């Protein structure tokens, strides 16, 4: 990153402050959950007024990059949603929001070269290293969702050493890397194979499948297909 991306020059306005803050978020200089320096320190760094910094941070909070709490400061959102047209919550939060106890179980984890269909879908080169993770999410020990996820290791190198035995890839990725763009698709389909087995359904029983592909700038990060039990209701704002 060059100096023009990393700092502001004297007299910069709030748009310049916003640009620098966003760049630091996207480059993980300030990763998800990171606390930003106090406004007075940022004003000193950017050689501008505290009012200018306040406006920049306030607008970035409105755009979904930051979370601001009075007397507690400003931090990078765990799940930036600036470009998302549809927001899907963490499965843990969704389950616990119903009053049920959440449980996670790893089904399988495999590092391998990207198969041709995946490379085409994610815009990777055939054979690029990826991680394939399959897992189950439970609500009060009842099947809630089967997750089938592919992670581009070039986008998230730390994933290569992560076992995902205790924490699901959804929660882990939210903490590790922001996303700048997401594509969602939904399909009413029939349960089959491994999905039917783990959800405890008959082959062909109707389920909702949700697919999500995310990018960091122009780099594809992860492709996930989440299959929900019959009767699942999704609510989005």
Task: Note whether 203 and 130 are within 8 A (CB).
Answer: no
CA distance 196 to 200: 6
Task: Note whether 206 and 189 are within 8 A (CB).
Answer: yes
Q: Which of the listed ranges 3-17, 134-148, 209-223 does the model predict with the highest average pLDDT?
A: 134-148
| pLDDT of amino acid 11 | 58
Locate 158 and state its tokens: 């730390």
CA distance 224 to 226: 6
CA distance 109 to 111: 7
Helix axes 50-62, 14-26, angle to 10 degrees: 50
Confidence of residue 237 (pLDDT cuts 50, 70, 90): low
Confidence of residue 142 (pLDDT cuts 50, 70, 90): very high
Average pLDDT over residues 4-22: 72
CA distance 167 to 147: 13
| Mean pLDDT estimate for the chain | 88
CATH 1.10.10.10, domain 3-76, yes or no = yes
Average pLDDT over residues 91-114: 94
| pTM, to two decimals | 0.68
pLDDT higher than threshold 70 for residue 236: no
| pLDDT of amino acid 129 | 98
Residue length of the chain: 237
C-beta neighbour count of 188 within 10 angstroms: 8
Task: Note whether 210 and 189 are within 8 A (CB).
Answer: no
* Domain boundary assignment for the chain: 3-76, 91-228
Same fold, 3-76 and 91-228: no
CATH of 91-228, one of 3.40.50.12160, 3.40.50.300, 3.40.1410.10, 1.10.8.50: 3.40.1410.10
Task: Note whether 177 and 142 are within 8 A (CB).
Answer: no
């Amino acid at each position: 990153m060059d100096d023009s991306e990393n700092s502001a020059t004297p007299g910069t306005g709030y748009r310049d402050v916003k640009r620098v803050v966003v760049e630091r978020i996207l480059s993980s200089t300030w990763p998800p959950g990171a606390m930003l320096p106090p406004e007075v320190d940022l004003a000193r760094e950017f050689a501008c007024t505290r009012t200018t910094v306040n406006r920049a941070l306030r607008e970035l909070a409105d755009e979904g990059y930051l979370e601001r709490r009075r007397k507690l400061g400003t931090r990078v959102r765990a799940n930036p949603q600036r470009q998302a047209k549809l927001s899907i919550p963490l499965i843990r939060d969704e389950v616990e929001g119903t009053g049920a106890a959440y449980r996670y179980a790893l089904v399988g984890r495999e590092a391998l070269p990207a198969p041709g269909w995946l490379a085409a879908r994610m815009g990777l080169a055939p054979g690029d290293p990826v991680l394939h993770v399959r897992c189950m999410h439970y609500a009060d020990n009842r099947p809630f969702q089967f997750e089938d996820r592919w992670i581009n290791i070039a986008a998230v190198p730390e994933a290569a050493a992560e076992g995902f035995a205790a924490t699901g890839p959804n929660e882990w990725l939210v903490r590790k890397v922001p996303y700048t763009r997401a594509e969602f698709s939904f399909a009413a389909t029939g349960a089959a194979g491994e999905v039917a087995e783990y959800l405890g359904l008959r082959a062909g029983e109707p389920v909702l499948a949700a697919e999500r592909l995310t990018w960091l700038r122009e780099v594809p990060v992860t492709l996930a297909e989440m299959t929900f039990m019959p009767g699942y209701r999704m609510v989005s704002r």
